[in-house]
Amino acid sequence: MTLKIGLVGARGHVGEALIRIIDAHPDLSLGFVSSRERVGKPLSDFFPGLKQDLVYSQVAFDEVGRQPVDVFVLALPNGMAADCVSSIERFHPDALVVDLSADYRFDSAWYYGLPELTRTHAAGARRISNPGCYASAMQLAIHPMRDALDGAVQCFGVSGYSGAGTTPSDKNDLRKLADNLMPYALVNHIHEREVARHCAPVEFIPHVAPHFRGITMTCNLHLSRGFEASEVRERFESAYANEPLIHLQSDPPWVSDIAGKHGVRIGGFTLDASGRRLVVVSVLDNLLKGAATQAMQNINIALGIDEFTGLELEKTA
Ligand SMILES: NC(=O)C1=CN([C@@H]2O[C@H](COP(=O)(O)OP(=O)(O)OC[C@H]3O[C@@H](n4cnc5c(N)ncnc54)[C@H](OP(=O)(O)O)[C@@H]3O)[C@@H](O)[C@H]2O)C=CC1
Ligand SMILES: CC(=O)N[C@@H](CCC(=O)OP(=O)(O)O)C(=O)O
């Protein structure tokens, strides 16, 4: 049986990535795609070759819950999910809801879905908060060393400008970004707080670069004792041995290797002479593993189907 997904925020970068993934999924189809700007236009105007065609509708937030779908996916800018969630609670409380924004990542009534690290707590979750893109890259790079940290991890992040969404700003202005690297939110970025809540304390320093998609996250970990390189590698191998989306490598990974792909690459793994300072680099596509791929993993788990259904074509990075 095909289950229907309703997508609110379907015009955005993340919404577009989700449309492609859902269209390729054997057990799911789109029930509605909501956008103010594209209302009345067919999906095929923007995505030639999709299996399914639909016309974009404009669903008022307080009417979202009346739509006849099994799963609601919210891909709106931060701060807008609550009215949709209230409408779903009112008209369709049993539906599965996945929110891509930061709005419920600090709410313990919602399951925080970073499957490789949290899926053991996923059973029965009907309200799922999808992690932030940088926050995913940081947590996957830090998690295997989490119990051996001595203080905050310094994380230098560089994102493609699709991370800044489609609303015009300096961070997605290609004229300003050309031949440039733009530091911003130098302290207290929301993903710094998100990682502190769900994994470990970090000092996160974000930047935007002129490429479209993909994040490079260079993490500087201070450790509570001296480590050998082989011990570090064993920890990462054992944490991610059966994870089809996580690829470990010796060299620092490059963002160009994962742009447009579902997976994450983690590498570098360099210790200083004391063995108490370790640098690890992770790369992922902010629109895929940082958003849409992760949402699809979370939906599959919640629906009781194989977690990687619909993601088979590019399981490994
Ligand atoms: N970009 C990324 O790399 C990542 C983004 N996220 C999060 O995912 C969410 C979506 O991000 P992204 O796709 O980049 O954002 P975009 O700015 O590209 O898209 C925002 C979407 O929301 C709709 N929208 C905007 N304002 C309103 C409004 N007032 N009422 C109704 N709809 C509105 C837009 O469509 P329309 O204007 O046509 O209605 C559009 O579909 C955000 O919360 C973001 O933080 C999470 C991880 C990664
Ligand atoms: C380059 C850029 O601007 N990136 C965004 C992160 C995108 C993301 O994951 O955002 P949410 O936590 O809001 O879902 C930012 O720094 O706000």
Number of neighbours of residue 277 by Cβ within 10 angstroms: 16
Which atom of ligand 2 sits closest to the CA of residue 133?
A: 9
Question: Do residue 142 and residue 276 come from a single domain?
Answer: yes
The Cα–Cα gap between 309 and 297 comes to: 8
Question: Do residue 278 and residue 300 come from a single domain?
Answer: no
Q: What is the pTM of this model?
A: 0.97
Which atom of ligand 2 sits closest to the CA of residue 286?
A: 9
The Cα–Cα gap between 13 and 51 comes to: 20
Please give the pLDDT value at position 11: 98
Range 176-185, long-range pairs (CB < 8 A, 24+ positions): 177/208, 177/209, 177/210, 178/210, 179/210, 180/209, 180/210, 181/207, 181/208, 181/209, 182/207, 182/208, 182/209, 183/207, 184/208
Please give the pLDDT value at position 314: 52
Q: Is residue 317 assigned to a domain?
A: no
- 3-class DSSP assignment, residue 249: coil
Please give the pLDDT value at position 315: 44
Question: Do residue 124 and residue 164 come from a single domain?
Answer: no
Question: Do residue 112 and residue 162 come from a single domain?
Answer: no
Question: Do residue 189 and residue 249 come from a single domain?
Answer: yes
Q: Is 155 a catalytic residue?
A: no
Query: Does 316 score more than 50 pLDDT?
Result: no
Report DSSP state, residue 304: T
- Rounded to two decimals, the ipTM of the complex is 0.98
Q: Is residue 162 assigned to a domain?
A: yes
Number of domains composing the chain: 2
For atom 2 of ligand 1, the residue with the nearest CA is 163
The Cα–Cα gap between 42 and 23 comes to: 14
CATH number of the domain where residue 187 is located: 3.30.360.10
What residues flank ligand 1, with Cβ below 6 Å? 9-15, 35-38, 75-78, 100-101, 132-133, 162-163, 165-167, 286-287, 290-291
Whether 96 contacts 303, CB under 8 Å: yes
pLDDT > 70: percent of the chain: 98
Question: Do residue 119 and residue 32 come from a single domain?
Answer: yes
Q: Is residue 190 assigned to a domain?
A: yes
Residue 151 lies in domain: 133-286
Ligand lying nearest the CA atom of residue 285: 1
Whether 107 contacts 130, CB under 8 Å: no
Predicted confidence band of residue 312 (pLDDT cuts 50, 70, 90): confident
Question: Do residue 102 and residue 183 come from a single domain?
Answer: no
Q: From the CA of 272, how far away is ligand 1's center (Å)?
A: 41
Ligand lying nearest the CA atom of residue 204: 2
Question: Do residue 145 and residue 118 come from a single domain?
Answer: no
